[in-house]
Amino acid sequence: MSEQAWKAALYLENDHLFLGRGFGAQAMQGGEAVFNTGMMGYQEVFSDPSYSHQIVVMTYPQIGNYGIQAADSESPTPLLKGVVAREYFSRPSSWRSEMSLGRYLDAAGVPGISEVDTRRITQVLRDEGAQRGIIFPIDSEDETKIRLRGRELLKQVPVMEGLDLVSQVSCKKSWEFDEALNQKRNVQGTIVVYDYGVKWNILRSLSSRNFRVRVVPYNTPAQDILAERPLAVCLSNGPGDPAQVPHAVQEIQNLLGKVPVLAICMGHQLLARALGGETFKLKYGHHGVNHPVKELSSGRIMITSQNHGFAVKTDSLPAREVSVNLVNLNDQTCEGFLSENMRTMSIQFHPEAKPGPSDADFLFDQFIKGFVL
């Protein structure tokens, strides 16, 4: 059965309008428009909860060509607000494909738009910064009317800065990852993961190292975690403005020095704020799988997968407590820090992803050997 084609528009906050062909859900959705530079991995991108409330513009032109496979998802369902592609393939060519990208997005209520100039859209976002956008169906070619409708619809879309999305994407009750597998092997102990919008591959990475992995809601009291006597706590990735999750910061402060803490992406930003540091909004964020990061202690350079719109102010961190060890070579922003005394390690990017393909995977072992075992 062929997918239904429909006319669609993408309207951006700075009055940019793009007309194209819709795919996925024939719906109106708005969020922050950002661009992703990955050449592969669109399913992992679209199923990453950190993209909640965002419209993702893919710079690689061919999207949907290898379909969707359930095993490659990072969460139960995509939470992003829209997909923008130069070319969309409704008939995937892969022996692993279980469904088309369009049907996957349609089931989640997520619209896509194709046959638009993604290079131009990327230039707009790069030069003018990430901005609110909206995808919606159209039934005419009158650009003046479409533009006016876009302006009106955009009033319903909140800005990302000042938005708490963690509470919306976190699990509602605790659960155990891969419980059956853990029962069949020599498990070393438990690592508790705070779910701020966790990617499943973070859980797989911890579980594969012979740990029982338990996932808990973002607002779980630290005293409840400590009562379980876990070997370590992981602060996961997640969407939104880290400055708007003060309750999570308070619980992290109650954990510091009492249990080893590994912080990833949103977790890294929240850990920095728990230490008295500050975060700020990047102009267009880091979204892609080709970002170079340098480990200062060794001089090692990694090609990393990244997805974040906020960053930590390096000079706001307490120099006596932590040392910055990872730096982004594109813009020199803080990509990670360590504290030997508090047994903490933070990473801004995604060590569980495979862009290098495994340049950063060693960081899990570095944390475990240095602070856990």
pLDDT tens, residue by residue, 93-142: 999 999 999 999 999 999 999 999 999 999 999 999 999 999 999 998 89
260 with 295, same domain? yes
Considering the domain boundaries, does residue 161 fall inside one? no
**Residues 44, 251, 335, 352: which is the catalytic one?**
352
Assign residue 130 the CATH number of its domain. Answer: 3.50.30.20
Say if residue 119 is in the same domain as residue 205: no
The number of folded domains in the chain is: 2
Q: For the chain, what is the radius of gyration of the CA atoms?
A: 21
In a domain, 33, yes or no: yes
Active site residue 176: no
> Please, which residues bridge with residue 190 across strands?
212
15 phi-psi bin (left φ>0, alpha ψ -120 to 50, beta other): left
The predicted-structure confidence for 193-211, as pLDDT tens digits, reads as follows 999 999 999 999 999 999 9
Q: How far apart are CA 353 and CA 141, in angstroms?
A: 42
Print burial letters for 274-306: b (CB count within 10 Å at least 16), e (below 16).
bbebbbebbebbbbbbebebbbeeeeeebebbb
Q: Are residues 98 and 228 in the same domain?
A: no
- Residue 78 and residue 194 in one domain: no
Same domain, 319 and 285: yes
Q: Annotated catalytic, 352? A: yes
Residue 52 domain boundaries:
6-154
Within this chain, do residues 117 and 256 fall inside the same structural domain, yes or no? no
Q: Does the predicted model carry a pTM greater than 0.75? A: yes
234 in catalytic set = no
Catalytic residue among 32, 234, 265, 291: 265
- Among 154, 183, 212, the domain-final residue is 154
58 in a structural domain: yes
Contact at 8 Å (CB) between 58 and 42?
yes
Express each pLDDT in 240-257 by its tens digit: 999 999 999 999 999 999
